[in-house]
Chains A and B, each alone.
Chain A
């Protein structure tokens, strides 16, 4: 069974569209994350939720809105997509927030804006 699964794996869409990426983890973890990896492979935290509550919100445009319906799911909705949003988006989870907690990553969603 996949521990952290993201859908879709690939997303190709036009500038200005709205799209969502879904993430689910079956590890029983309390904390989930969204990261963005740019073309230079630099990975940057966007959001973190602990048991459905937002705890980290980096300097991300408000076109990006995370939603956590329960602690096993963290979705990412992006409005009015721009060319600069093209990247790979990774979902991750950890047992708890902070401390000595390794993070478990999904395989990413490759978003391409035309």
Chain B
């Protein structure tokens, strides 16, 4: 069954605003990863957070992980039109399979 589920399914914001996407999962994980997919392209790895970490930063990206609530969030600050893409969370389970959610489609309006 699907492990990660993103919320919202779609998000439209103005350039310069922050975008927050949430992910919930069901079972225990080794780590949680976020990927970006531009239209017609493959997924690109953004950031990985281990199960014993609570927060991680990379440039304009901030990821949090709450294992007690089985949830994670991805914050993109000062968004740009080039951030328009689909964003997926993916959970590494105990058998080292990466289980993806259905993604959040982000539109950043110039």
- The interface of chain A, by Cβ under 8 A from chain B, is 4, 35, 40-45, 48, 56, 90, 92, 97-100, 102-108
The answer to whether A45 touches B99 (Cβ under 8 A) is: yes
The 10 closest A-B pairs by CB, nearest first: A98-B96, A105-B42, A102-B45, A43-B100, A105-B43, A107-B42, A42-B102, A41-B103, A106-B42, A107-B41
Residues of B within 8 A of A102 (CB): 33, 45, 48
CA distance A92 to B41 in the complex (A): 13
Name the contact of B45 in the complex, choosing from A35, A56, A103 (C-beta under 8 A): A103
- Let me know if B88 is at the binding interface, CB within 8 A: yes
Residues of A within 8 A of B92 (CB): 98
Name the contact of B96 in the complex, choosing from A41, A43, A99 (C-beta under 8 A): A99
Q: Which residue of A lies closest to B49 (CB)?
A: A100
The answer to whether B30 touches A99 (Cβ under 8 A) is: yes
Interface of B is mostly: strand
- Let me know if B40 is at the binding interface, CB within 8 A: yes
The answer to whether B100 touches A44 (Cβ under 8 A) is: yes
How many Å from the CB of A72 to the closest CB on chain B? 17
The answer to whether A45 touches B98 (Cβ under 8 A) is: yes
- Let me know if B20 is at the binding interface, CB within 8 A: no
Could you show 29 A-B contacts with beta carbons less than 8 Å apart? A4-B42, A35-B100, A40-B102, A41-B86, A41-B103, A42-B100, A42-B102, A43-B43, A43-B88, A45-B98, A45-B99, A92-B43, A97-B96, A98-B30, A99-B30, A99-B96, A100-B48, A100-B50, A102-B33, A102-B45, A102-B48, A103-B43, A103-B45, A104-B45, A105-B35, A105-B42, A105-B44, A106-B42, A108-B40
A43-B43, A102-B48 provided; 11 other pairs, C-beta below 8 A?
Answer: A4-B42, A41-B37, A42-B2, A45-B99, A90-B42, A90-B43, A99-B30, A100-B48, A105-B42, A107-B40, A107-B42
CA distance A56 to B102 in the complex (A): 21
